[in-house]
A and B are shown apart, each in its own frame.
Chain A
């Protein structure tokens, strides 16, 4: 079945360092969504990418959607302690009903002050 993989599973950085997480799908995606979950919290929608090669920025966060629409990345410049949490990518289910999202396993980011 369709799989969405994320790497790394865990990343520990010093505050001020950059961070990148990668998302890879086994199938082409119509769109990719990114969510953030703070420790003890619930996932919160960050952004959606739709177009091939699309790049979007939210302050220090840069999101990219691959040309083949099978991979995506999230890059954080100069991390802060407020960036701590797990980052999930998610893509629509392929070949079945269109109303389901498949979530990646997530990347846990730890930021040391």
Chain B
């Protein structure tokens, strides 16, 4: 498996609190992605990055922000978590654009009460 580490793996928090998820890669890949996975919706793109400090929105970006200050790290922040953001979050990396396969981390299971 590609060298991708997501942390934490599990988190339970309360509505209104800030939450930051971390994705760390050792592959030196340019592209990094954050997805959420919910029953019946498959994988939906939240934000992605195409280089250090270069990020763009995906299809479900409201309520989320990201930062990439180093090639190896991509952070996803929920500024004020809501129950609708309870989900499994996956980070993925790719060496190229959408013509290249993506490699996923193990995921973070986030519950917001």
Complex alpha-carbon distance, A1 and B35, angstroms: 18
Q: Are B99 and A92 in contact (CB under 8 A)?
A: yes
A101 near B104 with CB under 8 A, answer no
* 8 Å CB contact of A33 from B42, B101, B105, B107: B101
Residues of chain A within 8 A of B22, CB atoms compared: none
Chain A residues within 8 Å of chain B by Cβ, number:
23
Q: Does A80 contact B (CB under 8 A)?
A: no
| Interface check A68, CB cutoff 8 A | no
A45 touches B43 (CB 8 A): no
Interface size on B, residues (CB 8 A): 26
| Chain B residues near A59 (CB-CB < 8 A) | none
Given A42-B90, A45-B103, A99-B31, A105 and B97 contact (CB-CB distance below 8 Å): no
Distance to closest chain A CB from B68 (angstroms): 14
Chain A: CB-nearest residue to B88: A42
A contacts with B: majority SS: loop
Cβ B98 vs Cβ A92 within 8 A: yes
Q: Mark B80-113, 1 if CB is under 8 A from A, else 0.
A: 0000000000101010011101111111000000
On whether the beta carbons of B45 and A100 are closer than 8 Å, the reply is yes
Whether the pair A44, B104 counts as a contact (CB closer than 8 A) is yes
A contact residues around B48 at 8 Å (CB)? 99-100
| B27 within 8 A of partner (CB) | no
Bound: A107/B84 CA distance, A:
24
Using Cβ atoms and an 8 Å threshold, which residues of chain A touch B99?
A: 30-31, 92, 98
Specify which chain A residues have a CB less than 8 angstroms from the CB of B59 in the assembled complex. Answer: 1
